[in-house]
Every structure is written in structure tokens, then in C-alpha cells.
A and B are shown apart, each in its own frame.
Chain A
Amino acid sequence: EIVLTQSPGTLSLSPGERATLSCRASQSVSSNYLAWYQQKPGQAPRLLIYGASSRATGIPDSFSGSGSGTDFTLTISRLEPEDFAVYYCQQYGSSPLTFGGGTKVEIK
């Protein structure tokens, strides 16, 4: 099973700042089948990025994904108040599907 390690655990930033979240896989993710989700308290997760870099429908271009192999990054170019949340990466290149432990982006 592929283990995904997200860092940092918590990111404290101010609105307007840039956020860079990391997701590292224990082995190469096939075909860069890596997705990112956002979850706000009391809500269901929402798909942001799939295929490492493709934005899901309705996701603003302030969100971007990059990376390949074992190292992936989610970047939020300019934090809006509604972007403060927990972010999870997920690989779907091999079974079982696995998620990272999450990065919480909090207001500084």
C-alpha cells in the first residue's frame, strides 16, 4: 500500500499569502494519479485537483497542483478567507486508494 505523508501538519498564514502544501508518497504514484481535496469543519471533502495538476470543475485558478513520481505540491497562490481548511492528498494509481494525513491551513 502506498503511504502518503503530508507536510507541514499545520500551516499558519495570513489572508493574501501564498500556501505551499507537500505530499510525499512511499513509492511512485502510477501515472501521477494524485488528487487533492479540501475539507472545512463539519463539511464533506471537496475535490480540488486530480491527475496531479488538473483542476476540478468550478475550482478557482488560485489553486494549482504540481509534481510527479513521489513528490507532489498543492499551491494556493493567494489565500482567501474561505480557503482556511484541511487539505488531503489521495493517490489512485494503485489499490488500495490511500489518503495523506492532511495539512491544516489556519489563519495566523
Chain B
Amino acid sequence: EVQLVESGGGLVQPGGSLRLSCAASGFMFSSYWMSWVRQVPGKGLEWVANIKQNGSETSYMDSVKGRFTISRDNAKNSLYLQMNSLRAEDTAVYFCARGGVVLTGWGQGTLVTV
């Protein structure tokens, strides 16, 4: 069974930084693209970033380019999102998801409040 567990969310001041982590289990993590998707509570879904299996390719939504960095550690079955220069509009629940385009498994999310 696919299990994705996010951590690292919390309250941060505008301009601050946070690093989100996602621990994966139940599947061969190194074989999958991975993504981050966010959702303002009560609102819709918004794709944030994705990363190729070996980390050699990444993509970002325009509003986070240059501020957020997605990375992974296949030895630790872990996905990360380094968020710098945070803004109020980054406030959301951040989900880790398996897949780069079709998202076949999701974590429960971690709340980031700026």
C-alpha cells in the first residue's frame, strides 16, 4: 500500500523559510516521479512542483520559481520542498504525491501558515 507522510509544516513569518519532508513507503520510491500539490483550506488544488526519479529534472509553478526547491533522497525514500521567501499567499496544505503528471497516491498533507 502506498504511504506518504508529510511533515515540517507550521507557522512562519513572511520572508521566512520552511522545509517540508515526505516519507514514502509501500512502493519503489526511486522508480517514480514525485510532486508537491497545495490547497488553500476550503479551496481548490494547485500543482507546485515535480521531480524526476533521479532528481535530474524539476519543474515549478511560476509563482514559486526561484523561491522553492524540490529535491529527493532515494536512499531515504524521501521527498523535500525547501520554501524560502515565504509569502502570505503560500499559506496552504501541502500534499506530497506519487507521480509527475497523473498523481496516483497522496499523503494527508501538512499545513503551512505564513
Contacts and interface: CB of A to CB of B under 8 A. Distances in A.
A and B: interacting chains: yes
A84 interface: no
Contacts of B104: 47, 56
Interface stretch (A10-18, A61-69, A74-82, A87-95): A87-95
Contacts of A50: 102
B59 interface: yes
A95 B46 CA distance: 13
Interface string B22-43: 0000000000000000000000
Q: How large is the interface on B (under 10, 10 to 19, 20 to 34, 35 or more residues)?
A: 10 to 19
A25 interface: no
The A interface, classified by DSSP as helix, strand, loop or mixed, is: loop
B77 to A, nearest CB: 18
Interface of B: 44-47, 50, 59, 61-62, 95, 101-109
Interface of A: 33, 35, 37, 43-47, 50, 56, 88, 90, 92, 95-102
Given A47-B105, A97-B101, 4 more contacts: A44-B106, A45-B45, A88-B44, A100-B44
